[in-house]
Amino acid sequence: MSSPSLDIRCRSLCVPRRGHRVEECEDACAVALERGRFAVGDGAAESAYAALWARLLVDAFVAGGDEQPAWPGWIVPLQQSWAESVRRPAGADPLPWFLEERFNQGAFATFLGVTVGKGTWDALAVGDSCLFQTDPEELRVAFPLTHSGQFDNSPWLIGSRTSADEVPLRHAARTSGDARPGDRLWLMTDALSRWFLARAEEGQKPWRQLEALLEQDDEQFTDWVERMRATRKLRNDDTTLVVVSL
């Protein structure tokens, strides 16, 4: 997929956890190539309707623009949309107590959004979905995490029922950089991000392995992910990749 207005191309790929169907994947990604907007989100499996929440986040980001309210203001309408979508009908049987608690807490997701302009890019991240910028020989940027040891089981998350007043600005990381011709921007959810950083720390160039897969069809990427899981090089988790070629 290429953009008529910006000199960029994009490819998006997603593989659900082993034993799950694509429609059960709780990752989400969205692309607005003509506007230079790209996003990935990772819904927390332990929360209620997490896939819906991740989808709302990424779609809203790529549809937004200069008129979009500053973080976290643009989250509030999405929280309302999520609540309306999951509202239980009047007279419905009560949920089991453990599901009721989860439902009342709402959904949670990590988020990464990138905007590419003429010669520059800007990124906003909450949690451990990561952005990497590479040229053929070098990993130039790792954001918001920079080392594989930083991944844990409690990343910052955006909540569908969390008050905007309780979402401090410090939970959102921001950065920007030069969009150099020939570079690539890699947006990844956490399992693939952790693998990527670990290989880079060993002195390898993991982007070259992924670049070879870009020349093949989606099934080849799925097969590669499954082989990596089978050898425990990649955690068995929903795996999403968006590649922006400058």
Q: Say if 2 falls within a structural domain.
A: no
State both tokens at 63: 């549809």
**Residue 44 located in a structural domain:** yes
User: Is 51 part of a structural domain of the chain?
Assistant: yes
Nearest CA to 64 out of 24, 110, 111, 12 is that of 111
Closest C-alpha among 183, 246, 243, 189 to residue 213: 243
Q: Which two tokens stand for residue 143?
A: 């954001």
SS3 content of the chain, % helix, strand, coil (to 5): 35, 25, 40
Q: Is the Cβ–Cβ distance between 50 and 56 less than 8 Å? A: no
Could you tell me which residue, 154 or 233, shows the higher pLDDT?
Answer: 233
Beta carbons of 111 and 242 less than 8 angstroms apart: no
Rounded CA-CA distance 193/189 in Å is 6
d(CA 199, CA 206): 6
Find the mean pLDDT for residues 172-199.
96
User: What is the domain range of residue 92?
Assistant: 9-245
* φ/ψ (deg, to 5) at 209: -65, -40
Residue 4 belongs to some domain of the structure: no
Mean residue pLDDT of the chain comes to: 90
Rounded to two decimals, the pTM is 0.92
DSSP 11-41: EEEEEPPTT--GGG--EEEEEEGGGTEEEEE
Q: Give the end-to-end CA distance of the chain in Å, rounded to a whole number.
A: 12
CB atoms within 10 A of CB 227: 11
pLDDT at 92: 67
Reply yes or no on whether the pLDDT at 3 is more than 70.
Answer: no
Residues 115 and 183: their CA atoms lie apart, in Å, by: 15
CA geometry: angle 109, 113, 116, nearest 5 deg:
170
CA 200/CA 178 separation, integer angstroms:
21
Residue 59 lies in a domain: yes
Predicted confidence at residue 101, as pLDDT, reads 75
State the pLDDT at residue 163: 76
Residue type, 39: A
Least confident range of 10-14, 88-92, 153-157: 88-92
| Pairwise CA distance, residues 2 & 162, whole Å | 37
Q: What is the dihedral of CA 1, 126, 186, 132, to 10 degrees?
A: 150
| Number of domains, the chain | 1
Question: Is residue 239 in a domain?
Answer: yes
- Condensed to tens digits (0 to 9), the pLDDT of residues 85-102 reads 888 776 666 666 566 777
Asked whether the predicted pLDDT for residue 167 surpasses 60, the reply is: no
| 235 falls within a domain | yes
CATH number of the domain at 197, please. 3.60.40.10
pLDDT at 170 over 60: no
